[in-house]
A and B are shown apart, each in its own frame.
Chain A
Amino acid sequence: MDPFEEIKDTFFQECDEQLSELEAGLQAMKDGAGDDDTVNAVFRAVHSIKGGAGAFGLEDLVRFAHTFESVLDEVRGGRLAADADLLNLMLTSSDMLSDHVRAARGGEPADPERSQSLVQQLDARRLGGAAPAPQPAPAQGSRPGPVLTPGVSEDGGIEGFDFTPVVMAFDVDDEASQTEEPELPILAEPEVADARPSWQISFRPKAALYASANEPAVLLRELGRLGEMSVRLEAGALPLLEDMEPEESYLAWSIQLATEAGRDEIAEIFEFVEDDCDLGITLIGEASGEAEAAEPIEAFEPEGEFPAPEAAPDVEALIAMAQAMSEPELHVEEPAPQPAPAAALPAAPAAEQPAAAEKEAGGAAKAATQQSAQQSAQPTQTIRVELERVDRLIDLVGELVINQAMLAQRVFESGAARNSDVALGLDDLEHLTRDIQESVMAIRAQPVRSVFQRMPRLVRECAAMTGKQVRLEMEGEGTEVDKTVVERLSEPITHMIRNAIDHGLESTADRVAAGKAEEGVVTLSARHRSGRIVIEVADDGKGINRKVVRQKAIEKGLIEPDQQLSDEETDNLIFLPGFSTANEISDLSGRGVGMDVVRRSIQSLGGRIWITSRPGYGSTFTMSLPLTLAVLDGMVVTAGGQTLVTPLATILETLQPKQADLRRLGPNSWVIAIRDTYVPLIDVGCVLGYRDQPLRPGEGVALLIEAEGGGRAAFLVDAIQGQRQVVIKSLEQNYRKVEGIAAATILGDGRVALILDVDAILAKRKHDAPQTNTLMAAVG
């Protein structure tokens, strides 16, 4: 990738971090939990976004961030009180800032009218709240020449705006300019015979110049780059050595410079030290004619004990002398290493090394040194690695796990005792392998924070749309889960939160009537539980109205009018496909997506979702998801002589079918009674074509399965071998897609085992025997 684009990527990543910090800080301030550090952090977030955006020429973003920053600066300086109104305005502005970032990224543009309105409101608060007058536009300084942000003049830049982005031009040929670095082009001739305008410059540094580590020799060298120059040391002002104060400044120079450069360009050289020296810049020669022009050089004619230079002063010696004077702190016993003046700027390395020095072998060594230096100094180091490399590593570790299991099995098959050295060594290897596997998986793990941090805005917007007062509480944002899982969490969580605010929470009036606080609370939490991540969205609203849900389910033909359901089963009817449709749910949570879609997306990640509810007290949606998609907790079974793996997450229970529980519905269709309901019995061996004859009733073991779509079935298999964590291998990539099979894995004995695609098998069964549902209904 183009390095510039790479940095832009980094910038947007950083924007995300800063936006969430901004939001968290503003929220903390609103909750009364903010202190000075919070305000500073909030200011810094907006300031950083503006700074980066400026470098990329993202004008709209810069403009908005600038207005926002100005208000924050007032708050930070204690000139503007952050009352509730202002905090609400700033929270809304942080949302708008986020919109501008999204737009700058190439996404949907920010609403210009809303943005403009916020700018006006922010300005109004700043001007209304600021003590004397509106903050003047930061002056660029009185010198128009050395302006480092071109265009920031009174009529330049962005209209009525004091900050002009300068897009970084990285194709600037700075290497060339470096390589052409002249060897201190200071004329040895005292008289400058040049057609160019000639300048007389007097330069007398004060002690402060040296104290700020500025260096007259460097300034003289830079001055020499402008044209042809002669320099004279004003040695006459030097006191006797014994009278010299080590930290005082005694040297002064008189310079004649022939150059096309103007006064501003010359002054720019001294920009950093203008307050730390006496500086005179006067035009002499033809162009001038000014009376005060040029003190005669004779005025600086050396006298006293210092030998007067015969003709031209030895410039090198002068510079060396100035340099020596400028380092009063050098310890006599241990001089600090200082590069010789000739080593000056890195002209040679620039010429020899290609631009992307770091990518070169030599650069790598350099980077390594840097890295080690940083490692020792910095508590948390990060490196950025291509995802592909990590995935390759995960793959290899998967192979390692399989190999280790195979090796263990072979060793035991060969008759080694459990307590033999080999067996004990293998135990150690197994532990180590698992540790490696977990560590490698952890590389891909990311905190759910990136998803959680989008939710406060969602809650604000939903609250505004419904007119409800809502507070969002979040717990466990640092809980980690595989990157792929994190990326796919956003949609279901968004949907559940919308649902909680729209349907879960009562209106303010209803809450008051029910004796509840006006403000409803939605809690979003994440935690690890038994090797999975559990995410909950809870509200303290009215809970599910089971009568209404049941009635609706009957109307939609999802359940029979006389079907008996537990409270839990009734609540979970909302996940059935077809339960909710777009035209009957509000704008907010509706959007044409029912809870069945949420459930499907969770299940496609190997997860499960359910709801628990207490009328009058609220509802809780709970999602349980695997931590990674690279390994799978599976039940290893045999069917028709083949070893298969069923995802554990889909298995509700296992049971031994009894003859009495089975009912035949057709020549090859059976249902099995499980407590008070019937589910179809599917002979996995037959469905996958491993055998022609189905198991006889009463043979084998049944797994009660719940598929993604919510359908249930009992999978009949020959036997269960046990639970195992297996490494998922793509069958499609290594072989081809096989109906009813999701993926493959390699077992400890080296055999390939296929992982069942539960949904596909269920769908296939329905397709093959469409009458089953009807019959089931009849039986039920």
Chain B
Amino acid sequence: MSMTILTVDDSRTMRDMLKMSLLRAGFTVVQAEDGVHGLEVLQEQHADVIITDINMPRMDGFGFIEGVRGKDAFKATPILVLTTEGDPEKKARAKQAGASGWIVKPFNPEKLIDAIRRVAA
């Protein structure tokens, strides 16, 4: 069974890009539009890895990561955040919230898969 990856991003473009890259690499993809939606999806859906944007309406990536880490079932689920230009402050805040790593936008599929490899068992 292939790994299921939850992508959380308010941008349809970014969701589609992630989806295409991940499907091509053989992953199963589940999507959510923002933090609130992401947490709702996780109520019903298992995810092996989570990839989330930071800047989102309703609930941003930091809030979402904290929410995920608050669930027993997802304490050990790797979470990668999508950031731009290697913003050190955002990375630090994301790590503080419980993120496992980051993907710098714009990413290419190789780097994306590479980042997943470094966190996914």
Contacts and interface: CB of A to CB of B under 8 A. Distances in A.
B14 A172 contact: no
Interchain residue pairs A-B with the least CB separation, the first 10? A350-B26, A272-B101, A148-B104, A377-B40, A349-B2, A54-B106, A11-B13, A346-B2, A346-B26, A138-B85
Interface of A: 3-4, 6-7, 10-11, 13-14, 40-41, 43-44, 47-48, 50-52, 54-55, 138-141, 147-149, 152, 162-163, 165-170, 172, 174-175, 177-178, 211-215, 217-219, 222, 269, 271-272, 275, 323, 326-327, 329-331, 336-339, 341, 343-347, 349-351, 353, 355-358, 363, 366, 370, 373-374, 376-378
A178 B85 contact: no
B35 to A, nearest CB: 13
9 contacts: A3-B20, A14-B12, A40-B57, A44-B55, A52-B14, A212-B79, A351-B26, A370-B30, A373-B30
A175 B26 contact: yes
B75 interface: yes
B76 A326 contact: yes
Nearest to B44: A373
B59 to A, nearest CB: 12
Contacts, number: 220
Given A178-B25, A345-B117, A349-B2, A148 B107 contact: yes
B119 A215 contact: yes
A168 B113 CA distance: 13
A353 B100 CA distance: 29
Given A51-B105, A174-B109, A272-B102, A10 B75 contact: no
Nearest to A347: B26
Contacts of A212: 79, 95, 98-100
Given A14-B11, A148-B86, A218-B121, A345 B100 contact: no
A366 B28 contact: yes
Interface in B2-30: 2-3, 10-14, 16-17, 20-21, 23-30
Contacts of A55: 13-14, 17, 105-107
A547 to B, nearest CB: 55
Contact of B21 (A14, A50, A170, A377): A170
A168 B109 contact: yes
Given A222-B117, A345-B3, A329 B109 contact: no
Centre residue among A44, A174, A269 by max chain B CB count within 10 A: A174
B104 A213 contact: no
A167 to B, nearest CB: 8
Nearest to B26: A350
A341 B3 CA distance: 12
Centre residue among A330, A351, A373, A377 by max chain B CB count within 10 A: A377
B114 to A, nearest CB: 9
A169 B109 contact: yes
Given A138-B87, A166-B108, A174-B110, A355 B23 contact: yes
A391 to B, nearest CB: 24
A43 B84 CA distance: 14
B121 A353 contact: no
